[in-house]
């Protein structure tokens, strides 16, 4: 760490470095791996390295990563994230108090959902607003409102296990586009090879609906399944299936087409050997 940053930063921040285990031996030494997953979800960690700016009690003010800045400017950027985050958390506390006191809590949740859609990724207010939105889901009997609230929460934070179960019940045919959102969320939060089968299984359920639009999200899902099946799961048959499905969707860019062609050509060569 650059001393110009390290020395100055300690005047206002406590610096903590956490390493994410990659090797099997390191993973086996983690006493509570579930806690790692919980914290990744809580703080929205989707890439490494991630620099979190949090309070002494663990409230997230925001996050950043490596930037092309000199040490002084980087420290100023971190301080700005902290100050903005403090203001955002005040707004969360005000919303929580309003929700607790409101007779029509669903109306507060609906308004929170609208605010969620306007927030920039990484905003420290997202988690608090999304929590209110998810509470609103349980309080309304209107199916359309439930779906709108769930959509807002998943778009903002990704899908948790409860969300996945709700989507399976409420949108089993992807008529509202919730299933594709869940699969995209799972794809964006993949942390290890062990996560891949669950992702591919969700994608298979999405495909089975027969209600998949040939858009960027769907193409990305199909190509990713094809690549992971071929590269990591050693499942050439499924890799070929997903590659063909991606081809059938159409609209592949040059990079996607290269992945598909490579998989289908390799499968064709393997079949010709028999």
pLDDT digits (tens, 9 = 90+) for 154-172: 999 889 889 999 999 999 9
Q: Return mean pLDDT, the chain.
A: 88
CB 88, CB 126: distance < 8 Å? no
The enclosing H or E element of 51 equals strand 51-54
Helical spans, DSSP H, in 158-232: 161-170, 178-188, 196-208, 216-231
Other Cβ atoms less than 10 A from the Cβ of 160: the count is 16
Q: Where are the domains of the chain?
A: 159-274
60-69, 146-155, 197-206: least confident range: 60-69
How is 112-150 classified by DSSP, letter by letter? HHHHHTTSPTT-TTHHHHHHHHHHHHHH---HHHHHHHH
The pLDDT of residue 21 is above 70: no
CB 48, CB 17: distance < 8 Å? no
How far is Cα 233 from Cα 255, in angstroms, rounded to an integer? 21
**What three-state secondary structure class fits 24?**
helix
In residues, how long is the chain? 274
pLDDT digits (tens, 9 = 90+) for 89-122: 999 999 999 999 999 999 999 999 999 999 987 7
How far is Cα 25 from Cα 29, in angstroms, rounded to an integer? 7
Q: Binning pLDDT at 50, 70 and 90, where does residue 52 land?
A: confident
Residue 67 is classified by DSSP as -
pLDDT digits (tens, 9 = 90+) for 200-255: 999 999 999 999 999 999 999 999 999 999 999 999 999 999 999 999 999 999 99
> What residues have CB less than 8 Å from 228, skipping those under 6 apart?
196, 199, 200
Q: Kindly state the average pLDDT of the residues 184-200.
A: 91
CB 149, CB 134: distance < 8 Å? yes
How far is Cα 267 from Cα 240, in angstroms, rounded to an integer? 7
Domain range 159-274, CATH class: mainly alpha
């Amino acid at each position: 760490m650059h001393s110009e940053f390290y020395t100055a930063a300690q005047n206002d921040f406590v610096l903590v470095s956490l390493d994410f285990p990659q090797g099997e031996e390191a993973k086996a030494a983690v006493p509570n791996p579930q806690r790692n997953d919980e914290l990744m979800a809580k703080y929205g960690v989707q890439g490494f390295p991630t620099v979190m700016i949090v309070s002494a009690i663990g409230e997230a003010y925001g996050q950043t990563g490596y930037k092309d800045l000199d040490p002084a400017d980087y420290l100023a950027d971190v301080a700005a994230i902290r100050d903005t985050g403090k203001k955002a958390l005040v707004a969360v506390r005000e919303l929580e108090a309003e929700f607790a006191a409101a007779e029509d809590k669903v109306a507060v949740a609906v308004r929170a959902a609208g605010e969620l859609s306007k927030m920039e990724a990484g905003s420290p207010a997202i988690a608090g607003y999304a929590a209110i939105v998810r509470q609103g889901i349980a309080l309304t009997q209107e199916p359309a409102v439930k779906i709108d609230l769930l959509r807002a929460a998943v778009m903002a934070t990704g899908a948790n296990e409860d969300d996945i179960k709700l989507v399976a019940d409420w949108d089993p045919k992807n008529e509202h586009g919730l299933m594709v959102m869940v699969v995209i969320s799972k794809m964006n939060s993949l942390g290890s090879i062990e996560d891949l089968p669950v992702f591919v299984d969700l994608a298979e359920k999405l495909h089975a609906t027969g209600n998949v639009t040939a858009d960027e999200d769907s193409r990305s899902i199909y190509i990713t399944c094809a690549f992971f099946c071929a590269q990591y799961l050693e499942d050439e048959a499924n890799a070929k299936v997903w590659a063909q499905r991606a081809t059938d969707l159409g609209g592949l860019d040059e990079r996607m087409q290269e992945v598909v062609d490579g998989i289908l050509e390799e499968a064709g060569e393997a079949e010709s050997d028999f």
